[in-house]
């Protein structure tokens, strides 16, 4: 859902934008992927995850808990973390 975003169109002299898309990944797999992004020291993460977890018959509460855990693992004093809602497929 985000892989078509043209990050170079969103950048400016003061803003660096990187888009990382991991098609088919579930939230638990995103923990590893997101940790790799920490090397770039982002000041903002926007998480869009959870849709693929619906295929595992997880409850909304379970998915929300996993996304919250992922967000908490990424949050540092020098960054912000936000999550987008799950889009229907």
At 24-42, the pLDDT tens digits run 889 998 888 777 777 777 7
Q: Is pLDDT above 80 for 1? A: no
At 50-59, the pLDDT tens digits run 888 988 888 8
Those residues with Cβ within 8 angstroms of residue 67's Cβ, 6 or more apart along the chain or in another chain: 27, 47, 49, 50, 83
Residue in the block written with tokens 């990050």: 7
Put simply, whether the predicted model's pTM sits higher than 0.95 gets the answer: no
Percent over 70 (pLDDT), the chain = 76
Residues making up the chain, counted from first to last: 89
Number of C-alpha atoms within 13 angstroms, CB side, residue 12? 2
């Amino acid at each position: 859902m985000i892989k078509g975003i043209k990050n170079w169109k969103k950048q400016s002299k003061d803003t660096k934008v990187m888009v990382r898309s991991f098609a088919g990944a579930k939230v638990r797999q995103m923990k590893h992927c997101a940790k790799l992004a920490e090397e770039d020291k982002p000041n903002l993460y926007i998480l869009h995850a959870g849709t693929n977890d619906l295929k595992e018959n997880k409850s909304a509460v379970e998915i929300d808990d996993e996304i919250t855990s992922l967000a908490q693992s990424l949050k540092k004093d020098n960054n912000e973390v936000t999550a987008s809602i799950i889009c229907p497929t």
